[in-house]
Amino acid sequence: MIDKLTLNIVPTPIGNLEDITFRSVKTLKNSDYILCEDTRVSKKLLLKYDIEVPLVSFHSFNEHKTVNKHINQILSGKKISLISDAGTPSISDPGFLIVRESIKKGIEINCLPGPTALVPALVNSGLSSERFVFEGFIPSKKGRVKRLKNFKEETRSIILYESPKRLIRLMKELQEVIGGDRKISISREISKIYQENLRGTISELISQLDNKSIKGEIVVIIDGK
């Protein structure tokens, strides 16, 4: 029986390295090589689980130049897995391009279930999780105001990723555009030692966080209208 030509998409822990499935470890161990964003980051995960497989850099700065090379490797019979620094590849991380191009070549996509920051942040928020929209990172400059204005009439819970450096700016913009009384939840450093969940209105959390040093990965949940 001939093995199917497959690209494995393997989610990796967003904080605690123990948040990985047995199947994910097995898949990585059985790979000929692993595509990753930063070899220095991914090496820590591989060392913890004794995964002795070569790492190859694959990130937003080189994916367009190298994607065809890796697809040709799969077509030649190589077993390749794609991971990101944290979470599920293609969700605000590289991955979409190689998945799309692999499908065009008849390569099967085997996306394993696993960690992603948006789901635990939504559940932790206490806001409605029945219907939601994921916006990822909104533009830092061009198009930012227009995107924020779209949130004003959105009835579903809104999930955003944001840089800690821009968090206060985001909240003040939201206060101006959709009002300070809208409920909001901020999850920081999910699954890590200093995990923190803050809940309240936009105005309340601005007062709580303004002029404070904010660090770590941030997920913002905004209540729908």
Q: Is the pLDDT of residue 3 over 90?
A: no
β strands within 101-153, DSSP E: 108-111, 132-137
Could you tell me if 179 and 202 are in contact, meaning their C-beta atoms sit under 8 angstroms apart?
A: yes
Which pLDDT value is given to residue 182? 96
Which pLDDT value is given to residue 212? 85
The residues with which 219 forms a beta bridge, in sequence order, are: 161, 187
Task: Tell me what the mean pLDDT of segment 186-206 comes to.
Answer: 95
Pair of tokens at residue 183: 């409920």
Q: How many Cα atoms occupy the beta-carbon half-sphere of 39 within 13 Å?
A: 8
Neighbours of 136 (CB within 10 A): 12
Cα-based distances in Å from 117 to 65, 98, 112, 159: 29, 22, 16, 10
pLDDT tens digits, residue range 93-126?
899 999 999 999 999 999 999 999 999 999 999 9
pLDDT tens digits, residue range 149-168?
999 999 999 999 999 999 99
Q: Is the pLDDT of residue 20 over 50?
A: yes
Q: Which domains, ranges and CATH numbers included, belong to the chain?
A: 6-111 (3.40.1010.10), 118-222 (3.30.950.10)
Lowest mean pLDDT among 161-170, 173-182, 206-215: 206-215
Neighbours of 221 (CB within 10 A): 26
Percentage of the chain beyond pLDDT 90 is: 89
Lowest mean pLDDT among 107-111, 198-202, 213-217: 213-217
Task: Tell me what the mean pLDDT of segment 52-73 comes to.
Answer: 95
Mean residue pLDDT across the chain: 94
Q: Is 81 exposed, middle or buried (0-12, 13-18, 19+ CB in 10 A)?
A: buried
The answer to whether the Cα torsion of 63, 69, 72, 77 is positive or negative is: negative
Lowest mean pLDDT among 1-5, 16-20, 35-39, 168-172: 1-5
CA distance 57 to 34: 9
CA distance 222 to 225: 9
Which pLDDT value is given to residue 48? 97
CA distance 185 to 205: 9
pTM for this structure? 0.90
CA distance 211 to 159: 24
Q: Is the pLDDT of residue 175 over 60?
A: yes
- Please name the residue that has the structure tokens 């105001």: 145
Task: Tell me what the mean pLDDT of segment 25-48 comes to.
Answer: 97
Which pLDDT value is given to residue 1? 36
Q: Are strands 196-201 and 183-188 parallel, antiparallel or unpaired?
A: antiparallel
